[in-house]
Amino acid sequence: MPTRTDAAPDIARTFSGIQPSGAPHIGNDLGAIRNYVRLQDEFDAIYCIVDYHALTSTHDPDRLRRQTREMAAALLALGLDPERCTLFVQSHRPEHTELAWLLMTVTPVSWLERTPTFKEKKLNQPDDINHGLLTYPVLQAADIVIYKATTVPVGKDQAAHLELSREIVRAFNHRYGPTFPEPQAVFTDAPVVLGTDGVRKMSKSLNNTIEIFASEDDIRRQVMSMVTDTQRIRRTDPGRPEVCNVCQLQRFFGEDYLQLWEGERQAITGCVDMKRLLAGRIIEHYAGARERYAELMA
């Protein structure tokens, strides 16, 4: 079992699965990775790059291998420390799929068919539904319970997925006796980071991201393309930082964001000025991570 051997015996074990989507963007970092870095000092933390899960939608093996490597390098560059946590690739541990098969024998198909993700994909892509999409939650449960993790950090929108894992554990324990602990949700206060369009969650599939490991020029270009307060037409119009995505992102890259917000309200600071400032701060904040990432990918 690829877990730390120096963890205190009474420390809780936590597990998180991470999709191998390639190098992450700032939404991934602010919404999840920063939390992973913090949890490695509070738990016996296990982080798994779930490349088997990715096979339900990614069918190019070269692309999957490249993106898995990019994600591993990015996680290490952003602060995951092998001395303080366990980080590995799902397909390197065949026991995950072995346990998933055992869990499938106690999991009714009706449970899987009612999951929100499966119902959504069945509706939106009816011609591209594979068995892996249906049984995805069973492998997800196996990922967690094979290490007898007792906690799983999740956003509130993911609570239903973890509850299904708990149901599967209860069914297995009922049939075979107490074997696995029911994992408990650790709800995080991680923000939902909007993309450069200012409307939808930042996502590579929506082409609205600000990349961490891009060139400085590309980062500036992405930030300068951000949609701001649509009601602020002229430079002299007062701004509304509460609805301006550029202003909202300043919260994560400087302690003076309230002062900056006030400058927006009083039209002291313009949208272009705010974008330039944000771009510079993002570039500076991730400078060390970009250097480490380049070394790991070399």
Please identify every residue annotated as catalytic: 121, 201, 204
**Secondary structure of the chain as H, E, C letters:** CCCCCCCCCCCCEEEEEECCCCCCEHHHHHHHHHHHHHHCCCCEEEEEECHHHHCCCCCCHHHHHHHHHHHHHHHHHCCCCCCCCEEEEHHHCCHHHHHHHHHHCCCCHHHHHCCHHHHHHHHHCCCCCCHHHHHHHHHHHHHHHCCCCCEEEECHHHHHHHHHHHHHHHHHHHHHCCCCCCCEEEECCCCCCECCCCCCECCHHHCCCCECCCCHHHHHHHHHCCCCCCCCCCCCCCCCCCCCHHHHHHCCCCCCHHHHHHHHHCCCCCHHHHHHHHHHHHHHHCHHHHHHHHHHHC
